[in-house]
Amino acid sequence: MILTLKEPYAETRQLPREQAAELLIDTFSAPDPALEEAWGREIDRRLAELASGQVKSIPAAQVMAEVRKIVGL
């Protein structure tokens, strides 16, 4: 089953604040070193693309507006 962004968001909003906070902390705790290394390479690649003009950035306000539209906020 594939979830849309709205479904996990709605489920998370139903959790008590303490459980939601624990979920958030667990999500960002104890990173996998291999994953961290892979993300470092990806970040370097993306920064090089931006610096070379190969890609253009999108303003954060535009991105957030699109996310709000998708999740129905």
Could you report the per-residue pLDDT of 47-69, keeping only the tens digit for each? Answer: 999 999 999 999 999 999 999 99
- Say which DSSP state 73 is in: -
- Tell whether 7 is covered by a domain: no
Is 8 within a domain? no
Distance, in Å, from the CA atom of 50 to the CA atom of 69, rounded to the nearest integer, reads: 26
Q: Residue 23's domain spans which residues?
A: 18-71
Whether residue 5 is contained in a domain is answered as no
Provide the domain count of the chain.
1
pTM listed for this prediction:
0.48
Q: Which of 50, 68, 72, 51 is nearest to 60 (CA)?
A: 68
Question: Is residue 66 assigned to a domain?
Answer: yes
Residue 29 lies in a domain: yes
- List, in sequence order, the alpha helices (H) in the chain: 6-13, 17-28, 33-52, 60-71
21-34 confidence digits (pLDDT tens):
888 787 777 778 89
In a domain, 51, yes or no: yes
Q: Is residue 65 part of a domain?
A: yes
